[in-house]
A and B are shown apart, each in its own frame.
Chain A
Amino acid sequence: MSEVVYTYDGSFDGFLSCVFARYANKEVPIAISRDEDFPPTLFPCRFIPTDPAHARRVLRKVLTLSPYGARLLQRGFLTCLPDRELALLNLVTTLLEEGPGFLRDRSHPAVYPVFRAVRHLEGEAHVLKGFVRFSDLGGVLGGEIEPKNRVLPLLRSHFCARYPQDAFFLYDRTHHEALLHAAGQAVIRPLADFQMAPPDEAEARYRTLWKRFYDTIAIRERDNPRCRMTHMPKRYWSTMTEFQGPDFFTPQSSPAGVPAPGAPAGKPVPGIPPAPGRSVPGSSL
C-alpha cells in the first residue's frame, strides 16, 4: 500500500468524506490535515473534496453501530487533540471492523486518546459556562473566550436556555468563530477578527460592582492561591472581568463609544458571512 496524505477543507463533513475516501480507495492515509495547515512534504497528497452525501453515509453507519461512538466522533472533532483526524479515523475503522463492544472500555487504545480529548473539551466547556463574561452593549450581550477546544457548539444550548429573551453573541478568539443568538435562533459563524467596544456608564458601573464583590468575598485568613489556580487556571483570566486593568472599568464618555442598540458593537460587526463557513458537527450534541 502506498503512503498518502489526505487534505480536506477542515469541515466535519470534509473529514467524514476522508473516511469515506479511505474505504473507497482502499488505502490508509498516514496523515489527514486541513489543506491550509499542511506543509509540503515528500509524500503524495490527495485533496479530498467535501461530499455531503458521503459524509451522511459515514455518519449514519457509525450511528447505527453505536450512538456513543457517533458522539465521540462528533465531539472528538472539536477537540485540540494533535492529529485528531487520524485518531478519529482509527476509532471509526475499529468500530467498523470489530463492532461497538470495545467502546465500553475506555482504556482501549483506539478509544482512550479520543475519550481523554473529549473529556478535556467537555471539561473546558463546563468551566466556561461559569467563566464566560458578558457585557451589556446597548441591550445586546457580548462576550469573548479564548478556549483550547472548539467549545461553542457545547455552549450553545446552555446560553440559549439561560437567555431565551436576549440577543447575545460569544466570540471565540482562538478559532475565530462566534455564536450568535437573536429571536430564538442561534448560529455559529466564522469571524476573522473582533474588537469589543468600550463600556458605557452603566456597564462600567456593574463591572466595578462585580470586581468589588469578588475582591471582598475572599476570606483573608484562608488565602489559597494554589487552590484558586487549580480550579481556575490563569489562561481563563484574560477574558474575566475580575482580572482586568483599570481601563476596563472606565466608561467611554464620547457618544461614539455607545453602540447602537440591536447590533453587537465593535468591528467588524458579526453578521452573515459571505461564504458558508466551516461546518460544525450537529447542534444536537
Chain B
Amino acid sequence: MDVLEKLTILTDAAKYDAACTSSGGDRASRKGYIGNTSSSVAGCCHSFSADGRCVSLLKVLLTNRCVYDCKYCVNRRSNDTPRAAFTPEELADLTIQFYRRNYIEGLFLSSGVFRSPDYTTELMIRCLRLLREEYRFNGYIHAKAIPGTAPELVEQLGFLADRLSVNIELPSETALRTLAPDKTKGAILAPMRQIQTRGHQCREELAKYRHAPRFAPAGQSTQLIVGATPESDLHILRLTQGLYDRYQLKRVFYSAYVPVVEHALLPAKTVKPPLLREHRLYQADWLLRFYGFRAEELLDEAHPDFDPRVDPKCSWALAHPEFFPVEVNTADYEALLRVPGIGVLSARRILSARRTRRLRTENLRRLGVVMKRAQYFLTVDGKLPEGLRFSQDSLLRYLVAAERPQLPPMEQLSLFDPVG
C-alpha cells in the first residue's frame, strides 16, 4: 500500500479527535535544527478545513488496527473498515516534508491499540525519536498516551513530545463500562497523574539546572465526547473543572459525537452531531479558564444544561440582574469581565484608557467592547447608553439576535425561530 493511500485511511480515522492546537510550546529556534514552537506561533492555523476547523498539525493515526472494541469508534476491531499502518520512517518523513513546506506546525500522533498498548507506544516512540534525533525536528509534537501503557514508556514519550494527552472520551464511569469495555477509569487516570507529577518534577529541576530535559513542556489535555451518552452539561463541566483543578490540564476538548456506527446504546446514525451544545461547552470552558467563573455559577441541579438560545455568559448575566449595571469608569477588572460583550482584552484596554481620561460611550466600541451586548449591562458615569429601553423579556430577545450572526450554521438553529 503506498503512502498516499495510508495517509487517506489514517487521516480519515483520526479526524474525530478535536484537539488540534499547537499552543503552549516554547522551543526556541536552535542552530542545526529545523523549527520552533515559540509563543509567536501559539495556536498557529495553517489552514481551515471545509468544516471550518483549524488545521495546525498533521493529525493522523500511526495505525487504525485496534484490538479494542470501543462501541463509538470507527476503528473498533469489530468494524469492517480498511486498515493501514505507517512505518515510523514513513511518518517521520511525511512530517518533516510537510513542516518544511509550512503546511503544518507539527505532528499530532495518535493510534489504535496495535497488539498491545506497550507495543503501539514503542512504535510511536520510534517515530518521534527519528524526528527529534535524525531529522533534528524542533517543532511541535502532540502524542497520545494510551491507557494501560507501562509508565517507563509514557516517560520516554513525554521527553520527546511537547504535549501528551489521554482521552477520557466518555464522561462517566457507567458510560465507559458499557461502551468501552476494554478501558477503565483507573487506566485512564493513571497516566494522567503520572504526566502531571512528572511535569511538575521536571519544572522544579529546570528551575535548578537550565538544561534539565523537559517532560511534555506544553502540558497535557484530554477530550470528552459530547452527546454519545446522556450526561448533562453540568456533569461535563464539573468533570472539566475537576480536571483543571486536580490534574492541571492545559485544555479539555469537546467533540460533538458524530454517529459513525449503529449500536443500540448510541444515538442513531441519522442523529446530527450536537454542534451547538459543543459550542456552548467551549464558551463555558473559556469562562472557567479566563474569566474566573466556576461550574456551579453557570449551572445547577435545577438548570443542568445550557440554554441553547444565549451564550453561558449572557445566561449568567440574565440570571443575576442584581450584579448590573456595572459602571465602566470605576468597576474593577473582575467586575468588567462579567459584562457580556467585554472580554479579557477590552477589559484591560478600559483600565488602561481610564488612566488618561473618563470614558464615554463612544469610546467603548473602539476599545473592543461589543456594544450590541454590553450596552444593557453597563453605565457610563451613572447613565445607561442614550435612547436604550428594554425589559427583561425584550433583553433576552435582543441578546439572542446579537449572537445569532456569529453562530456557525447548526442543526439546532430552528430552536431560535420562535424567538425571532
A residues whose Cβ falls under 8 Å from a Cβ of B: 101-102, 104-107, 112, 127, 129-136, 141, 143, 158, 160-166, 206, 208-210, 212-214, 216-228, 230-232, 240-242
Contact = CB atoms under 8 A, between A and B. Distances in A.
Given A129-B41, A222-B51, A164 B273 contact: no
A129 B56 CA distance: 11
A130 B100 contact: no
A242 B97 CA distance: 15
Contact of A218 (B4, B15, B97, B367): B15
B280 interface: no
B363 interface: yes
Interface string B67-83: 00000000000000000
B366 A134 contact: no
The 3 residue pairs across chains A and B that have the minimum distance between CB atoms: A227-B52, A107-B366, A161-B29
Interface stretch (B31-39, B207-215, B231-239): B31-39
20 contacts: A105-B356, A107-B366, A112-B366, A129-B41, A130-B44, A130-B46, A130-B105, A133-B101, A141-B100, A143-B102, A162-B35, A164-B31, A165-B33, A206-B101, A221-B258, A222-B256, A224-B409, A226-B409, A228-B50, A231-B54
B47 A222 contact: no
Given A104-B353, A162-B29, A141 B101 contact: yes
B159 interface: no
Question: How many B residues are at the interface, by size bracket?
Answer: 35 or more
A107 B54 contact: no
Given A214-B55, A222-B51, A163 B353 contact: no
Contacts of A228: 48-52
Given A101-B356, A219-B15, 11 more contacts: A129-B41, A129-B44, A131-B46, A161-B28, A161-B29, A206-B101, A209-B7, A218-B15, A222-B53, A228-B50, A231-B48
A227 B408 contact: yes
B376 to A, nearest CB: 21
SS class of chain A's interface: helix, strand, loop or mixed? helix
B67 to A, nearest CB: 25
Contacts of A225: 50, 52
B324 interface: no
A162 B367 contact: no
Interface of B: 3-4, 7-8, 11-12, 15-16, 28-36, 38, 40-41, 44-56, 58-60, 94, 97-98, 100-103, 105, 256, 258, 272-273, 275, 349, 352-353, 355-357, 362-363, 366-367, 408-409
A101 B273 CA distance: 52
Nearest to B32: A165
Given A208-B4, A217-B55, A231-B52, A164 B29 contact: yes
A91 to B, nearest CB: 16
Contacts of B355: 104
Contacts of B366: 106-107, 112
Contacts of A105: 353, 356-357, 363
B34 A165 contact: yes
Contacts of A222: 51-53, 256, 258, 273, 275
Contacts of B11: 212-213, 216-217
Nearest to A227: B52
Contacts of A160: 29
B41 A214 contact: no
Nearest to A184: B31
B235 to A, nearest CB: 24
B11 to A, nearest CB: 4
B35 to A, nearest CB: 6
A112 B363 CA distance: 10
B100 A136 contact: yes
Nearest to A243: B47
Nearest to B18: A219
B272 A130 contact: no
B158 to A, nearest CB: 24
Contacts of A101: 356
A230 B35 CA distance: 28
A43 B47 CA distance: 48
A233 to B, nearest CB: 10
A23 B46 CA distance: 46
Contacts of A104: 352-353, 355-356
B353 A206 contact: no
